Structure 1
């Protein structure tokens, strides 16, 4: 279960003026605010919110892995591969989905999904819908989600504590992504772009992922081997010596990703493309798009005149090309120790 083809580029969500403005006046309250997810406040390993220490211990094959990644510019998931994440409460409609797979799929005693929620596209595809229930403190998700006759069903689903680190071992029940992490863990939230800072590690996919895996991953859907493939769950970091604020020609969103990659890095958590390291995860759904159609089609922030284009994050394949991706390194473990 995972993204096998991630062909979109540069897709972050910006709901009004731009990074750094008053966030309380910008992001839609129907979607999570910064700092609400994968916090590890319950004592789980803080995979995503822990900053990488100075002089971290590197993987013995770090140079080989980076060489295997090559010089292809990573891409951020386009509108067809953006997992939608919404805040919900016990007052929202409750569903008891049927699942077509027999992998221990479960969302417990039900999942509350707001009527305005949409699923990830395309169809057929991953089709995630993810909800953060602020009343019961869970993140529940349906993979292969569809709605018919007023009922949500799907291929599978899972439940994580919202206050956990999102890793495989903190799962309450069911299943997650291709690495068995919480759906949406590490994804760039709309609210984070609006506040001007991404305060967590990012989510990556790779076409060069290994069969082997490490925490926070609980499994791998990759098939690579040897010293140059990327272990599932590997944490990668951009050289802290890079001057992110001084990247000539870079957009505000690109600079934010640059800084986040230095402070928190990113994890390879699914197998997909188009490149050896790509598929930066982002919570989708441009709520300003007049063509969005719950439950089936989220708003496309990359449309001409859309909020992504206004932020300078277009569909150009060189949208993240100002970051020197050849200056990556791979940590030996998630905490860099």
Structure 2
């Protein structure tokens, strides 16, 4: 929770500066010796704000109305299932990404399965860009020109690339994909902005929604998602883009480190259903420095601790 405070003495300003150095504390900006402002955190990526301030990704949903289908959708994902970090110190877990300068040379990309729903290249993919382990084979690149470039089913092809689909997102815009279009993700959402990243854990706070997977989705989507990949027409299963929130009543006592930061985020910003996969699996960046013991605390959080908030109508 962050707000604004004014302090009239240098001693108080110093005290606030000390608090700001603690994990999870908000940044403190000191204007002279007579005024101290606790600034609201702005999530960034590649040196750019992570979407505009009014982006759905940055919306505080801690007090949002509960979706009428909440109980059914949580039950569908699993009341007795548990949260799980789909990333860790093992480099074969998580989704790797690259940050490149504006001068990064662009390379051609040939799209196959979803070429008619892909953003044409070229893309600024570095020669040593890492490909996600497993079948999805995502390649994610954040450019300092404030754009994110993402590929699904990516494979190198000489000096160029082939991919099942690709999408480009402008971090300065709230513009969605065209209705019905996929991206590098099944929901038509960007992937990289929804990852748990080590730089945010080091900062002590995550100020945007996260991304997670569920095994069974209905054939529909809620904005900002633009695409469905469901297996049922049943309203008892969540659609792509459904936004789950950790209940305010769920106690965080006993949690620490990365798990505590993630859980605080899930209470305030929640997480979007972004793809079909294992239930309650949260996505994070590939990083050898993850503390697996910290992340394993998430396995103590049951599905029953979540609810779904009302963020818009289901589109079919």
Instruction: Using structure 1 for the length normalisation, give the TM-score.
Output: 0.71
Question: Quick one: distance in 2 between partners of 1:165 and 1:134?
Answer: 18
- Give the equivalent residue in structure 1 for 2:293: 312
Deviations 1:256-295, CA, capped at 9 Å, x for gaps: 111011011111111111x3xx2211122x3xxxxxxxxx
Measured against aligned partners, the alpha-carbon deviations of 1:17-45 in whole angstroms (never above 9, x if no partner) come to x9669x9xxxxxxxxx942378332x8x6
The one of the two structures with greater contact order (alpha-carbon pairs below 8 A, sep at least 6) is: 1
After superposition, residues 225-264 of structure 1 pair within 5 angstroms as 225-244=233-252, 246=253, 248=254, 250-264=255-269
Q: Is the 8 A contact 1:104 1:174 kept in 2?
A: no
Among candidates 155, 158, 162, match of residue 149 of structure 1 = 158
Cα distance in 1, alignment partners of residues 62 and 120 from structure 2: 37
Structure 1 position 92, deviation (Å): 2.1
Paired residue secondary structure (1:192) = helix
- Quote the residue 1:133 is aligned against: 143
What residue number does 1:46 align with? 55
Contact 1:93 1:115 in 2 (8 A): no
Equivalent residue, structure 1, for 2:5: none
Rounded to whole Å, the distance in 2 between the matches of 1:167 and 1:183 is 13
1:183, distance to aligned residue in structure 2 (A)? 2.9
Aligned twin of 1:72: 81
CA contact (8 A) 1:66 1:326 kept: yes
| Alpha-carbon distance in structure 2 between the residues aligned to 1:176 and 1:102 | 10
Q: Which has the larger radius of gyration?
A: 2
Offset at residue 237 of structure 1 (A): 0.8
Alignment counterpart, residue 282 of structure 2, candidates 276, 280, 283 = 280
Name 1:266's counterpart in structure 2. 271
Count residues in correspondence: 271
After superposition, the CA RMSD in angstroms is 3.1
TM-score (normalised: structure 2): 0.75
1:115-157 superposed Cα distances (whole Å, 9 cap, x missing partner): 44211112xx11111111113x211122211224333332221
SS in 2 for 1:111: coil
Flag the structure with higher helix content. 2
Q: 1:155 to 1:175 in 2, by over 3 A?
A: same
SS in 1 for 2:115: coil
Aligned to 1:214: 222
Cα distance in 2 between the residues matched to 1:179 and 1:38? 23
